[in-house]
Structure 1
Amino acid sequence: MGLELFSPDDDSSAVVTAARAPDGIDSGELVLLLRDRHGVTLAPGQGELKGKIFRIGHIGYYDVFDITTALAAVELALIELGADVERGVAVTRALEAFEHTPV
């Protein structure tokens, strides 16, 4: 999808992934569209990051289908908001990562 992670790899979290919204996209608007139109709940940025980042939680039970659903919804919502993202990339990359992750 071409999104920039908010936190570098060496400072990542096991419970949440934060990404910067593309230029011209308000992350709060993205989060509302995801919830209201697509039934997917993500968290917006807070404080000085309000409107700039969004957060995908992955604590507790989740599986590859939860992750791919969230990523597909983010991709679709970004396209609906006018972002220039390549379709289908996020889900493909998530499935590739899952295939190479030991159980």
Structure 2
Amino acid sequence: MEGSRWRSWRILLTPYYLNLYARQAHVLRVAAAFLVGLALNLLFEIPHGSWMLVTILIVLGSVPHWGGVRRKALQRMGGSLLGRRPAWWPWPCTAIRRCPAICG
């Protein structure tokens, strides 16, 4: 009996049914990822953990296909690394003469 139950669920993972119910599968995937992120945020009390939830919604929310999710996640990570760059990159003060508040 257990094998027949698995076969009935396995048929839903075929490309035909995944394409037929793509919107519902996308909603379930985003909801599951958001709930996992929320649980991690509440369990470990991550400072500024709401950004994790925002990232989940931005990366997964608008892209229903896995290939697009991977590309968008890499773009988001690249943007975050470029935005973080000024924090560790030693900017020479001679190049920023117009901003005495930064150079002192």
TM-score by length of 2: 0.29
Which one scores higher on RCO, CA 8 angstroms, separation ≥ 6? 1
Which structure's residues are more often strand, by fraction?
A: 1
Which structure's residues are more often helix, by fraction?
A: 2
